């Protein structure tokens, strides 16, 4: 009784809160109390009211206590059955669970597998609880007598008989044959719940079976619903397992194709291990790449996200000084962002540079070969610094060798993309070239890579 009163009090408090709770309409929150109350009164208020009405006291007051009446053998009277059936309106409060079950679908804070298992177990517990209560109610209608599930009757020697066989009936709904000694409400409920769970899981031991026509009819409906519910639960769990398996299968397929390629072409072990490591790095980070994530967004929103993430890097670079925001946005849209494993040479001495690159994250090592020095000059590339830009614009070979020290994220602008930007924004391209010339021939010595501040350059000797 105390639990029932507590639950009813919570529902009443929720009804009061719903008269003050803002709702969303056309992507806007409505906070007008008049509109909130009108919307709640049009639909869910009456559902909540029916779900919280005290039907037992109402029936006792209206029909003189017949709501709890029973026959001479303990069965419920028709008036009591009608009053008990009204309590089924309390099931309308289950509509609140719909919000609980739908919100995890779009809540990324909870893992999908955990949310799915939680939802399935809650549905299973509620459904079996309802079925157990129904079977308890149907047995109560017959007074837990010989026509109910117990089917127990006293034998000539005082022992209980079921179907003519002497048995010890102490835990079933019918209880012992002596009506003065019987199982408690909790024991009968646990037996009903046991039957509901065993039937839903299709175990079907057969030790507890319905006996009356009403119990058999409900069991048929219960099993029919269980067919669809079981298929849904198995399907959702299979979806979680298959999703993980598909990701693993995609990686294994790419890995097997790469291994076949390595074997056919006889690639040495050191290079092949580097290729496999790079495959795994890109596969793990593929779903988090800008191209994969932002492709679902409209162009304007995608431009804003890229502007927020990388515009600070561009404006702090000497090469883009004085360039307009539209020109820089165009560069961000045309550029790609790639990941590289450690010890990968992005620029090699004596090789042409076909891409304009900027280090976004990570550590790089730069080795500059100079004509006036027999040994190369060693530098480190700072985050936000361009490298290989002079051979890129001059279309000459590089005098640098740039190697990644750690896993690096690099912005890459291809020559074809640069030419398309050059045609669309000649003013911005001119400003870039002027910055490059001014930095290269500045009187103050500057280098392509140094240990100083990001973006500082020294002249190549």
> Where do the H-state alpha helices sit in 19-155?
33-42, 44-52, 55-63, 78-86, 95-106, 112-141
Give a yes or no: residue 226 inside a domain.
yes
Q: 178 with 152, same domain? A: yes
Give a yes or no: residue 44 inside a domain.
no
Q: 152 with 179, same domain? A: yes
Give one DSSP letter per residue of 402-446, joined into a string: EEESS-EEEEEEEHHHHHHHHHH-HHHHHHHHHHHHHHHT-SS--
The rounded distance, in Å, linking the Cα atoms of 356 and 319 is 11
Q: 135 with 266, same domain? A: yes
The pLDDT value given to residue 166: 57
The pLDDT value given to residue 326: 87
Q: 276 with 374, same domain? A: no
- The number of folded domains in the chain is 2
Tell me the whole-structure pTM to 2 decimals: 0.56
The pLDDT value given to residue 456: 43
User: Angle formed by the axes of helices 44-52 and 33-42, to 10°?
Assistant: 60
The rounded distance, in Å, linking the Cα atoms of 398 and 91 is 76
Domain that holds residue 245: 110-286
Q: 232 with 329, same domain? A: no
Q: Which residue has the tokens 């000694």?
A: 181
The rounded distance, in Å, linking the Cα atoms of 357 and 449 is 13
Q: 369 with 395, same domain? A: yes
Say if CB 14 and CB 52 are below 8 A apart: no
Give a yes or no: residue 60 inside a domain.
no
Q: 265 with 306, same domain? A: no
Q: Within 13 Å of residue 298, how many CA atoms lie on the same side as its CB?
A: 2
The pLDDT value given to residue 161: 56
The pLDDT value given to residue 357: 92
The pLDDT value given to residue 445: 42
| φ, ψ at 452 (rounded to 5°) | -80, -145
What is the block-wise mean pLDDT of the chain (461 residues), using blocks of 10 residues?
79 88 80 88 87 80 62 59 78 77 62 81 89 84 55 55 51 45 70 87 73 84 92 87 74 86 88 84 74 81 88 88 88 88 87 91 84 72 87 88 89 90 86 85 44 40 36
* Through-space distance between the first and last CA atoms of the chain, rounded to whole angstroms: 91
Give a yes or no: residue 11 inside a domain.
no
CATH of residue 120's domain is 1.10.287.70
Q: 309 with 331, same domain? A: yes
Give a yes or no: residue 155 inside a domain.
yes
Q: 230 with 316, same domain? A: no
β-pair partners for 381 = 364
The first and second tokens of residue 425, run together, are 């924004």
Say if CB 384 and CB 317 are below 8 A apart: yes
């Amino acid at each position: 009784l105390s639990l029932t009163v507590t639950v009813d009090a919570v529902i009443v408090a929720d009804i009061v809160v719903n008269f003050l709770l803002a709702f969303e309409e056309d992507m806007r929150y409505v906070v007008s109390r008049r509109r909130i109350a009108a919307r709640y009164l049009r639909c869910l208020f009456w559902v909540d009211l029916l779900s919280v009405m005290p039907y037992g006291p109402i029936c006792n007051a209206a029909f003189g206590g017949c709501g709890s009446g029973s026959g001479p053998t303990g069965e419920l009277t028709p008036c009591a059955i009608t009053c008990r059936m009204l309590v089924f309106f309390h099931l309308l409060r289950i509509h609140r669970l719909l919000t609980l079950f739908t919100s995890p679908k779009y809540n990324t804070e909870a893992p999908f597998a955990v949310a799915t298992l939680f939802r399935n177990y809650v549905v299973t517990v509620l459904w079996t609880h309802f079925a157990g209560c129904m079977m308890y109610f149907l047995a109560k209608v017959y007074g837990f007598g010989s026509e109910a599930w117990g089917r127990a009757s006293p034998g000539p020697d005082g022992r209980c008989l079921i179907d003519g066989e002497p048995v010890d009936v102490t835990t079933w709904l019918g209880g012992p044959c002596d009506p003065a000694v019987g199982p408690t409400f909790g024991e009968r409920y646990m037996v009903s719940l046991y039957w509901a769970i065993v039937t839903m899981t299709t175990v079907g031991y057969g030790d507890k079976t319905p006996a009356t026509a009403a119990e058999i009819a409900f069991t048929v409906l219960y099993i029919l619903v269980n067919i669809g519910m079981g298929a849904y639960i198995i399907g959702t769990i299979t979806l979680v397992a298959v999703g993980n398996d598909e990701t693993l299968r995609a990686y294994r397929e790419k890995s097997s194709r790469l291994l076949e390629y390595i074997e056919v072409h006889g690639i040495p072990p050191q290079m092949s291990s580097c290729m496999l490591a790079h495959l795994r790095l890109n596969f793990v980070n593929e779903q988090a790449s800008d191209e994969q994530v932002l492709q679902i967004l409209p162009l304007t929103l995608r431009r804003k996200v890229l502007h927020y993430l990388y515009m600070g890097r561009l404006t702090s670079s000497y090469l883009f000084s004085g360039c307009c925001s539209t020109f820089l946005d165009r560069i961000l849209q045309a550029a790609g962002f790639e990941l590289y494993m450690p010890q990968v040479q992005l620029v090699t001495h004596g090789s042409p540079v076909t891409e304009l690159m900027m280090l976004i994250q990570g550590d790089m090592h730069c080795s500059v070969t100079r004509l006036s020095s027999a040994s190369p000059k060693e530098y480190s590339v700072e985050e936000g610094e361009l490298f290989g830009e002079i051979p890129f614009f001059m279309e000459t070979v590089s005098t640098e060798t740039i190697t990644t020290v750690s896993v690096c994220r690099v912005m890459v602008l291809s020559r074809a993309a640069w030419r398309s930007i050059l045609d669309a924004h000649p003013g911005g391209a001119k400003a870039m070239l002027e910055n490059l010339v001014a930095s290269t021939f500045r009187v103050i010595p500057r280098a392509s890579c140094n240990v100083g501040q990001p973006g500082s350059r020294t002249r190549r000797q």
